[in-house]
Amino acid sequence: MAQPESLNPAQLEVLELLGATPEERPSFDPNLRVELKTDLEIALNYLAEVIPEDDILFVGKRQLAQVMGCEAKYLAELEGDFEWSIPLARGTLAHKAIELSVHWRGDKNPIELTEQTLAKVEFDEAPLGRWLQSLTEADRAELQGEVSGRVTAFLECWPPLKREWRPAMESPARVEIAQGKIVLAGKVDLALGRASGNVAGKVLVDLKTGRFSPIHRDDLRYYALLEAIRIGTPPRLVATYYLDQARFTPEPVSIAMLHSTIARVVDAIHRMVELRYQDHPPTKKPGPTCNWCPALDTCAEGQAHLANDAELHESGVAITVGEE
């Protein structure tokens, strides 16, 4: 196992962020779990009568972001069948390969870890495995390259994950509200550490490539809420780690953050119910996501937005807003 002195500066930065002295670990009221769940129940329990008997409203970070963005896209995605694609599969497979690396004996070669992961998933897991089997050789090679790139970036930028840190990839959390008619669920990419009684100690990390988005921060706050209700002691810290920049955007977990997340979740669920079960007309919010929207072919607003965007780029007027 690598000694601290053999770690590169990026790995040392991660180590520094993940470490915390006892004074940096906040303690939380043991009743917090009940209070948070009660807040959700007071706001949402009545929806048990509104959601049809044979339906369950499943809420994940993706659905929350969709309905808070373009409501028409949220509905269009609901109507379509989920299909695996290279952009969707590469993250899932990279997390599995990183998980394998934690327990891997000997040299952690990203290409070998990726190959072993793909081979395992191909024969063990449906429907992702079936989708993998259906890929052409060229698509499989492209996918393998992208997964391996992410695993390489992780192993370069992160110190070796020690077993005593209790690393868990894609750790699931689930909370049921309104007599089980509403299910809040999520799987954080990487969880490290653990609470000690009501003293926080866990760190939740989402691994990303690309630029910062406020949605990434909202995703993690949502995970922190689920964890707080599940365990009773919230995580100490949530952080997005941008693999291609070797950069963290950490945020300490606070009571105020958990309450504002409840407000966002409740607002989003009300909108979902209105759109799905009460025939409220969806609003449209054209933006970059129009590029991947299943309703684009029939959406005049989305087409106009993309045409305008293309014109700006051609004329050189477009600027990049936000952090790269």
* Interaction site with ligand SF4 (CB under 6 A): 70, 72-73, 284, 286, 289-290, 293, 295-296, 299, 301-302
Residue closer to ligand SF4 (CB basis): 73 or 95 = 73
Residue closer to ligand SF4 (CB basis): 188 or 299 = 299
Nearest to 297 by CA among 34, 73, 3, 12: 73
Residue 301: CB minimum distance to ligand SF4, A: 5
Residue closer to ligand SF4 (CB basis): 171 or 303 = 303
How would you label 21-32 residue by residue, b for 16+ Cβ within 10 Å and e otherwise? eeeeebebeeeb
Classify residue 233 by burial, with Cβ atoms within 10 Å: 0-12, 13-18, 19+.
buried
Residue 297: CB minimum distance to ligand SF4, A: 9
Residue closer to ligand SF4 (CB basis): 209 or 289 = 289
Residue 311: CB minimum distance to ligand SF4, A: 17
Amino acid identity of residue 146, one-letter, is E
Residue closer to ligand SF4 (CB basis): 235 or 302 = 302
Residue 235: CB minimum distance to ligand SF4, A: 32
Residue 76: CB minimum distance to ligand SF4, A: 6
- Do 230 and 196 meet the contact criterion of CB atoms below 8 Å apart? no
Residue 318: CB minimum distance to ligand SF4, A: 18
Distance CA 9, CA 245 (A): 13
Of the CA atoms within 13 Å of residue 9, those in its CB half-sphere come to 2
User: Could you please report the per-residue DSSP string of 98-116?
Assistant: HHHHHH--S---HHHHHHH
Q: Please list the residues that pair with 206 across neighbouring strands.
A: 240
Judged by DSSP in three states, 1 sits in coil
Residue closer to ligand SF4 (CB basis): 167 or 302 = 302
Distance CA 177, CA 323 (A): 37
Residue 73: CB minimum distance to ligand SF4, A: 4
- Do 50 and 273 meet the contact criterion of CB atoms below 8 Å apart? yes
Amino acid identity of residue 26, one-letter, is P
Residue closer to ligand SF4 (CB basis): 89 or 295 = 295
